[in-house]
Structure 1
Amino acid sequence: MALVIKSWTATETPGADGIYVSIVGRQEGFFSWLLSVLGIDATTTLRVDRDTVYFEAGSLAGFQQRVIPLANLSSAYFGYAKPWQVAVAIGVALGGFFGLGIVLGLLYYFLNKTLSLGIIENSGVLSGIEFKRSVIEGQNINEQEGRRVCNIVKHLMMEAQGRPQPQLSRASNIASLPHTGT
């Protein structure tokens, strides 16, 4: 199930706390938002510092935390899914109702685009997160931001494995991964 983004920080230079990437998401929906307001939120967190990736997935029943040295990663990934087929189906199915189908189809499309982001360990274990746009929190992270995080993790992973990379900069990192289409 996709999460909505509560907070997203990604920077090419670490903050005062040494963190390069910090992403926090919660379950989607009004009830989950209400629980988060009350301080009873189950969140999923992906945090990256110079040496380590911290991945924590929580629910109301408990949590699981993984601490992975960057040297033990084999890859980082990101992707973007756009539900245009369902949006078109909604538009066609409800199209005769004064344009309601088109409005609902577009609304469905923009609220259900999903960004996937994660890492794969040398052991084959995958730790990933899928996010949707958050209307309540006002967060909308796009494909370029996903590519940027993936590039930051790749850079740190290669350094941790003894394969130094050129200096990471915001201007160069977005364009350095090939774009395979949308």
Structure 2
Amino acid sequence: MALVPKQWYASTSPNERNNYVEILARKSGFIAWFLALIKVDPTFFMSVSHRQVVYQASNLMGYQKIILPIDSISSSFFGYHKPWKAAIAIFFVSIAVGSSIIDATHSAMGGMTAMLIGLIIAVTYYFLNKELFIGITDNNGEKFALILKRSVLEGQDINEQQMELVTRIVLTVIDNQKSQKLISSSISS
């Protein structure tokens, strides 16, 4: 299920809640947006501090919160998926509809208009439905991820560089935690 980001924070310096990363997202779509306006929207949240990763999901049926100590994180990942197959299918359907209009009415103008509208819809679909994903894997191999797409209504435009930054921050926090444990263990020895 793709989500749209409502709030995004990713920095090498922690915010006022001591988090390096905070991602708040909601389900995509007009109905989910309307529910967000009246504060009954299902939300998904991920945060990373120097001690833990919090992953939580809430919906109308309930709430789940998972707190993982930073040293139980084995990896962080990100990527994206582009819906080019669906966009091409939309365009080919518009060509078929346009051809049918030309055959039925012998009007090239109506058919070309249908094809142009189909092209616009296909391009819009392609750009609005690109999905970016980000997540972590714990030491047991369980993955906790958020799948995000462009947020037109909230005005959040998240890209691959921001996803990579989050991944680098998580890995840096993990490395820092391991370094502190090594220093602590060598001091106590």
Select between 90-99 and 147-156 the one with higher mean Cα deviation.
Answer: 90-99
Matched, 1:138 2:155: yes
The structure with the largest alpha-carbon Rg is: 2
User: Among the aligned pairs, what percent are the same residue?
Assistant: 38
Which residue type is aligned with residue 108 of structure 1? Y
- Looking at structure 1, the residues matched to 15 and 46 of structure 2 have their Cα atoms a distance apart, in angstroms, of 16
Matched, 1:57 2:57: yes
Alignment-derived partner of residue 153 in structure 1? 170
Matched, 1:77 2:77: yes
Matched, 1:94 2:94: yes
Alignment-derived partner of residue 2 in structure 2? 2
Moved runs in structure 1, 4+ residues, more than 4 A? none
Alpha-carbon deviations, 1:13-48, whole Å to 9, x = none? 112221110000001111111111111121000011
Alignment-derived partner of residue 125 in structure 1? 142
Gaps of 5+ in 1: 165-182
Gaps of 5+ in 2: 99-113, 182-189
Match of 2:179, SS state, is: coil
User: How many residues align structurally?
Assistant: 164
Q: What's the C-alpha RMSD, in Å, of the aligned pairs?
A: 1.4
Alignment-derived partner of residue 186 in structure 2? none
Match of 1:148, SS state, is: helix
- Looking at structure 1, the residues matched to 20 and 91 of structure 2 have their Cα atoms a distance apart, in angstroms, of 41
Match of 2:122, SS state, is: helix
- Looking at structure 2, the residues matched to 77 and 161 of structure 1 have their Cα atoms a distance apart, in angstroms, of 19
| Structure richer in helix, relative to its length | 2
Alignment-derived partner of residue 24 in structure 1? 24
What is the TM-score normalised by the length of structure 1?
0.86
Alpha-carbon deviations, 1:60-101, whole Å to 9, x = none? 101110001111111000011111111111112213314111
Which residue type is aligned with residue 65 of structure 1? K
